[in-house]
């Protein structure tokens, strides 16, 4: 266990260095949050149909999504991507560590630490500054019930674990294919479309919504957002978190097997 | 200027040849880019499917706004990706090398890369625009066709101007300022929807400061023959794409001003 703990600490320390990126991220996420809100408020104003989320729930869903933006597994660890490209990944393979566990620990740090830097200013802005600026209707509201708040907390932990699992899985696929472009853009499309960051998943047609249950992607963002906004409530909270836990176990087991199989026959780039 | 353009053309050919060496990877990237950017439109479709209408706008009309601004963005993105590296050149001091060559600075920098894979977005924009034009039943006339091209041309100029300004900032900050992406990537997202759905201050920003509404929303109102919810006069809709060209000219002056303030990092 000791080497993994040390690795986690090193990664955490280095990630705290990226403060400028956090500032840029803050403005970008705030801007996109506000555009999405204006667009959805207009949609709500025009409709006579019954909508699966209320306007207040949608506002919370959107802000929480922008706050959690950095946990989305858009990219694999840039360090690992560079190593695979220049062949240094060979050093990773000869370490007396379990490759999956080693990369997974790094991925958990990569997905969780940036939120700490980003969430605090985002929450201050969305929950406290917007009402002061005269837009209480745009503001992030507290969860409707205590259960929703606690459920969101647990769900967030599993969301990070699912996201890290997807990240490592994609890294392993990158190791498998020589051409990286396919894996990278495919991952981007899946994450962009299926996590709820583009459009909240409850707005999708029912056929697609049912399909999302067979994929791990909604566990990364949609589940914590829906629990927080109250559209998943009661015992479904426990069921949904259980489903997230299932995806963590699934990704860890298949990932470990894939890593074992790959390390037997991998060809590292020379150079 | 003419020799500068010829030089740019040569850069372009070299860049294309380079990319064609990796044809498989290039095609994969282009297809990836097509689907990635198509997702934006699918997102809009999902919302219309759920809500029915956006104020009094239907999906086809929004698709027209979406298609034209996406095409303008894609052309500017393909042409001027080289500007992305400007901040890097300033930081490393490599920018000095451009300064000593007797050709237009801006064209040299823009010519560094001509990113063909970004054509994925162009095809996607054309695809959505074609669908919009087929379903919309527009009463076409020659002035309207010209206005359409004027709108796309003005939009391209506006985005190139924004990339140039982003590069110019690096003369002062010595590093890239990603926050500016709000006006480019955020701008495309904004202009995909009718300007009238946004708050007043937000509209004014995208009319008078970064004239996105002028190159897209106003001319498209004329093409659709819709009344202007913002109540600008009709002649203004016909000339407004010129704001994109003025914006480009202003950004070139700003760039020249920035170059005069450039101090090499010396490394």
Domain ranges of chain A: 2-265
CA-to-CA distance for A215 and A169, rounded, in angstroms?
14
> For residue B195, what is the nearest residue in chain A, using CA coordinates?
A39
The reported pLDDT for the residue numbered A3 is 80
The reported pLDDT for the residue numbered A74 is 87
Counting beta carbons within 10 angstroms of the beta carbon of residue A166, is it exposed (0 to 12), middle (13 to 18) or buried (19 or more)?
Answer: buried
Angle between helices A146-176 and A181-194 (to 10 degrees): 160
The reported pLDDT for the residue numbered A62 is 95
Report how many Cβ contacts below 8 Å link chain A to chain B: 98
The backbone torsions φ and ψ at residue B230, rounded to the nearest 5 degrees and listed phi first, read: -95, 0
Structure-model confidence comparison of residues A154 and B89, the more confident one: A154
CB contact under 8 A, B186 and A49: no
- List CB contacts of B228: < 8 A, sequence separation 6 or more: B218, B221, B234, B237
Put simply, whether A134 touches B (Cβ < 8 Å) is no
CB contact under 8 A, B189 and A24: no
CB contact under 8 A, A188 and B29: no
With contacts defined as CB-CB under 8 Å, which chain B residues touch A35? Answer: 186, 189-190, 198
Exposure string for A28-59, b = 16+ CB within 10 A, e = fewer:
bbbbbbbbbbbbbbbbeeeeeeebbbeeebbb
Is the residue at B265 inside a domain? Answer: no
- Bridge partners of residue B57, in order along the sequence: B54
Asked if the model's pLDDT at residue A227 lies above 70, the reply is yes
Q: Cβ(A181)–Cβ(B27) under 8 Å?
A: no
What is the nearest CA distance from A181 to chain B, expressed in angstroms? 6
Q: What is the dihedral of CA B13, B19, B20, B24, to 10 degrees?
A: -160
Is the residue at B266 inside a domain? Answer: no
The reported pLDDT for the residue numbered A268 is 60
The reported pLDDT for the residue numbered B203 is 93
Report chain A's terminal Cα–Cα distance, integer Å: 33
Best residue in B166, B197, B204, B210 to probe A by mutation, most A CBs within 10 Å?
Answer: B197
Structure token pair of residue B3: 């020799």
Most confident of A105-114, A166-175, A240-249, B5-14: A240-249
Number of folded domains in chain B? 1
With contacts defined as CB-CB under 8 Å, which chain A residues touch B186? Answer: 28, 31-32, 35
Is the residue at B142 inside a domain? Answer: yes
CA-to-CA distance for A39 and B120, rounded, in angstroms?
26
Structure-model confidence comparison of residues A178 and A34, the more confident one: A34
CB contact under 8 A, B182 and A43: no
Asked if the model's pLDDT at residue A270 lies above 60, the reply is no
| Cα→Cα distances B175→A52, B86, B95, B186, Å | 45, 9, 13, 21
Q: Cβ(A178)–Cβ(A268) under 8 Å?
A: no
Put simply, whether A179 touches B (Cβ < 8 Å) is yes
Q: How confident is the model at residue A162 (pLDDT cuts 50, 70, 90)?
A: very high
Is the residue at B267 inside a domain? Answer: no
pLDDT tens for chain B, 267 residues: list them.
677 778 778 887 888 888 777 777 777 778 878 888 889 999 999 999 999 889 889 999 999 999 999 999 999 988 888 887 887 787 777 888 888 887 778 888 887 777 777 788 899 999 999 999 999 988 889 999 999 999 999 999 999 999 998 888 888 776 656 677 788 888 999 999 999 999 999 999 999 999 999 999 999 999 999 999 888 998 999 999 999 999 999 999 999 898 888 877 765
The reported pLDDT for the residue numbered A113 is 83
With contacts defined as CB-CB under 8 Å, which chain B residues touch A37? Answer: none
Rounded mean pLDDT of chain A?
87
CB contact under 8 A, A51 and B193: no
H helices of chain B, in order, are 2-21, 23-51, 59-79, 86-92, 95-99, 105-110, 119-136, 142-173, 181-191, 200-204, 212-215, 217-224, 234-239, 242-260
The backbone torsions φ and ψ at residue B227, rounded to the nearest 5 degrees and listed phi first, read: -70, 150
Best residue in A21, A30, A38, A39 to probe B by mutation, most B CBs within 10 Å?
Answer: A39
Q: Which of A8, A209, A204, A164 is nearest to A72 (CA)?
A: A164
Option in B36, B51, B181 nearest A51 (CB):
B51
Q: How confident is the model at residue A66 (pLDDT cuts 50, 70, 90)?
A: very high
CA-to-CA distance for B236 and B214, rounded, in angstroms?
9
CB contact under 8 A, B202 and A47: no
Structure token pair of residue A162: 């699912």
The reported pLDDT for the residue numbered B177 is 65
Q: Cβ(A177)–Cβ(A186) under 8 Å?
A: no
CB contact under 8 A, A179 and B28: yes
Is the residue at B75 inside a domain? Answer: yes
| Cα→Cα distances B96→A31, A133, A145, B99, B166, Å | 36, 46, 61, 5, 19
CA-to-CA distance for B27 and A74, rounded, in angstroms?
21
CA-to-CA distance for A9 and A15, rounded, in angstroms?
10
Structure-model confidence comparison of residues A104 and A83, the more confident one: A104
CA-to-CA distance for B47 and A43, rounded, in angstroms?
8
The backbone torsions φ and ψ at residue A134, rounded to the nearest 5 degrees and listed phi first, read: 90, 15
Q: What domain range is B195 assigned to?
A: 2-260
Is the residue at B216 inside a domain? Answer: yes
> For residue A21, what is the nearest residue in chain B, using CA coordinates?
B178
The reported pLDDT for the residue numbered B183 is 85
What is the nearest CA distance from B185 to chain A, expressed in angstroms? 10
- List CB contacts of A29: < 8 A, sequence separation 6 or more: A66, A67, A69, A118, A122
Angle between helices B2-21 and B23-51 (to 10 degrees): 100
Q: Fill in the DSSP letter of residue A230.
A: T
Asked if the model's pLDDT at residue A271 lies above 60, the reply is no
Structure token pair of residue A168: 């490592």
Quick: pLDDT tens for A236-249. 999 999 999 999 99
Put simply, whether A17 touches B (Cβ < 8 Å) is no
Option in B36, B49, B181 nearest A189 (CB):
B36
Q: What is the dihedral of CA B47, A51, A140, B38, to 10 degrees?
A: -10
Asked if the model's pLDDT at residue A13 lies above 90, the reply is no
Note the maximum CA span of chain B.
60
CA-to-CA distance for B167 and A226, rounded, in angstroms?
40
Asked if the model's pLDDT at residue A151 lies above 70, the reply is yes
The reported pLDDT for the residue numbered B180 is 76
Quick: pLDDT tens for A260-269. 888 777 666 5
The reported pLDDT for the residue numbered A33 is 93
């Amino acid at each position: 266990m000791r080497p993994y703990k040390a690795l986690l600490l090193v990664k955490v320390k280095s990630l705290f260095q990226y403060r400028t990126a956090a500032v840029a991220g803050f403005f970008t996420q705030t801007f996109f949050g506000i555009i999405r809100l204006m667009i959805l408020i207009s949609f709500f104003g025009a409709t006579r149909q019954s909508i699966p989320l209320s306007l207040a729930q949608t506002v919370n869903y959107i802000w929480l999504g922008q706050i959690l933006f950095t946990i989305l597994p858009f990219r694999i660890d840039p360090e690992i991507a560079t190593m695979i490209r220049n062949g240094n990944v060979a050093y990773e393979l000869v370490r007396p560590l379990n490759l999956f566990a080693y990369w997974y620990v790094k991925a958990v740090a990569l997905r969780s630490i940036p939120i700490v830097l980003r969430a605090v200013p985002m929450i201050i802005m969305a929950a406290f500054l917007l009402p002061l600026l005269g837009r209480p209707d745009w503001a992030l509201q507290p969860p409707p019930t205590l259960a929703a708040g606690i459920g969101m907390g647990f769900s967030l932990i599993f969301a990070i674990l699912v996201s890290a699992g997807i990240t490592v899985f994609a890294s392993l696929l990158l190791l498998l294919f020589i051409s990286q472009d396919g894996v990278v853009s495919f991952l981007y499309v899946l994450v962009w479309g299926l996590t709820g960051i583009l459009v909240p998943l409850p707005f999708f047609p029912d056929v697609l919504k049912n399909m999302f249950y067979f994929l791990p992607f909604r566990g990364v963002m949609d589940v914590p957002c829906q629990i927080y906004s109250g559209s998943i409530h009661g015992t479904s909270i426990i069921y949904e978190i259980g489903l997230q836990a299932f995806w963590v176990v699934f990704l860890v087991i298949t990932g470990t097997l894939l890593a074992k199989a790959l390390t037997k026959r991998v060809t590292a780039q020379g150079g | 200027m003419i020799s500068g353009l010829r030089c740019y053309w040569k850069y372009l050919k070299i860049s294309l040849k380079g990319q064609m060496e990796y044809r498989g990877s290039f095609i994969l990237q282009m297809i990836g880019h097509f689907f990635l950017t198509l997702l934006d439109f699918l997102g809009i479709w999902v919302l219309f499917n759920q809500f029915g209408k956006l104020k009094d706008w239907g999906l086809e009309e929004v698709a027209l706004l979406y298609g034209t601004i996406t095409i303008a963005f894609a052309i500017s993105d393909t042409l001027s990706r080289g500007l992305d590296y400007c901040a890097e050149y300033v930081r490393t001091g490599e920018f000095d090398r451009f300064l000593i060559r007797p050709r237009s600075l801006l064209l040299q920098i823009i010519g560094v890369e001509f990113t063909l894979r970004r054509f994925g977005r162009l095809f996607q924009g054309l695809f959505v625009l074609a669908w919009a034009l087929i379903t919309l039943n527009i009463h076409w006339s020659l002035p309207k066709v010209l206005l359409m091209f004027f709108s796309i041309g003005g939009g391209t100029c506006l985005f190139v101007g924004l990339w140039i300004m982003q590069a110019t900032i690096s003369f002062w900050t010595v590093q890239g300022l990603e926050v500016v992406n709000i006006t480019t990537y955020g701008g495309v997202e904004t202009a995909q929807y009718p300007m009238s759905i946004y708050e007043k201050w937000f509209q004014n920003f995208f009319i008078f400061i970064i004239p996105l509404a002028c190159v897209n929303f106003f001319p498209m109102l004329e093409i659709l023959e819709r009344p202007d919810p913002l109540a600008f006069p009709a002649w203004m809709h016909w000339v407004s794409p010129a704001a994109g060209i003025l914006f480009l000219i202003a950004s070139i002056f700003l760039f020249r001003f920035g170059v005069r303030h450039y101090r090499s990092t010396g490394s």
